[in-house]
């Protein structure tokens, strides 16, 4: 792992405006998705200014003096998960990316993210086709059909870090970290779990010199 675990509260200066903007966008569910709920189109396609602003603000946590001189790639979307999705997620990695950033934009506390470590470094259950099927359907019969595979997967890990969701809280972790939502349910059945998710790749210095990578330590910034 290269990138640290970060937890930053009060990330956006005006989070209510970010929520209003997110709620003005169209959300959809791709046919072959392997995640719960719905997402927007990629933000760089629909609002390049917000995309650059938010990504640079995230990078400034890692490189306070260098973030504006870096070159990087990112995949960013808003995501909504319905209140009636009464289960936790499927433990996985975001191994196609260097690091992942999640910003919680809903005002309830029991739908955060947990980081895990495999019990056995030599093997665990990982079946992307079953995972896609798991998140494709919304009826209890479909969940029961693949509950065994999900349990076998998740039982292969032990929780090491638990982040509770908090309005306008950011968490960041290495793309190779095993993680999942520790629950999508909450007290307000009319409110969806809204997050801004950003995956970063190819973070480099523009001048070609090697970029100093942050130490892989856990930090919290209030």
**Which has the minimum average pLDDT: 9-13, 21-25, 91-95?**
91-95
> β-strand 113-118 against 38-39: which pairing, if any?
unpaired
The full DSSP string for 61-124 is HH-TTTGGGEEEEEEEEEEEE-TT--S----B--TTSSEEEEEE-SS-SS--EEEEEES-TT--
Per-residue pLDDT at 216 exceeds 80: no
The full DSSP string for 202-216 is EEEETTSSPPPPPPS
Which domains, and CATH codes, for the chain? 5-221 (2.60.120.620)
Q: What is the mean pLDDT of residues 172-176?
A: 95
Give pTM, 2 decimals.
0.86
Per-residue CA distances from 13 to 126, 165, 166 (Å): 39, 18, 15
Pick the more confident residue, 214 or 44. 44
Mean pLDDT of the chain: 83
Per-residue pLDDT at 219 exceeds 60: no
Per-residue pLDDT at 125 exceeds 80: no
Of 178-182, 191-195, 199-203, the range with the highest mean pLDDT is 199-203
Q: What is the mean pLDDT of residues 160-186?
A: 87
What is the Cα–Cα distance from 194 to 179, expressed in whole angstroms?
18
pLDDT of residue 65: 84
């Amino acid at each position: 792992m290269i990138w640290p675990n970060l937890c930053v509260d009060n990330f956006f200066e005006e989070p209510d405006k970010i929520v209003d903007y997110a709620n003005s966008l169209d959300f959809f569910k791709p046919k072959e998705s392997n995640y719960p709920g719905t997402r927007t189109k990629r933000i760089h396609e629909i609002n390049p200014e917000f995309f650059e602003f938010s990504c640079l603000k995230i990078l400034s946590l890692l490189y306070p003096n260098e973030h504006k001189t870096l070159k990087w790639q990112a995949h960013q979307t808003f995501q909504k998960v319905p209140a009636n999705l009464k289960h936790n997620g499927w433990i996985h990695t975001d191994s196609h990316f260097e690091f992942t950033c999640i910003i919680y934009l809903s005002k309830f506390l029991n739908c955060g993210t947990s980081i895990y470590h495999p019990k056995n470094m030599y093997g665990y259950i990982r079946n992307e086709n079953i995972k896609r099927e798991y998140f494709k359907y919304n009826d209890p019969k479909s969940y029961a059909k693949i509950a065994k595979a999900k349990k076998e997967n998740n039982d292969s890990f032990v929780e090491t870090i638990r982040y509770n969701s908090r309005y306008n809280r950011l968490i960041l972790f290495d793309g190779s970290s095993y993680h999942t939502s520790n629950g999508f349910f909450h007290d307000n059945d009319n409110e969806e779990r809204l997050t801004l998710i950003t995956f970063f790749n190819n973070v480099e210095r523009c001048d070609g010199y090697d970029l100093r990578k942050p130490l892989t330590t856990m930090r919290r910034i209030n």
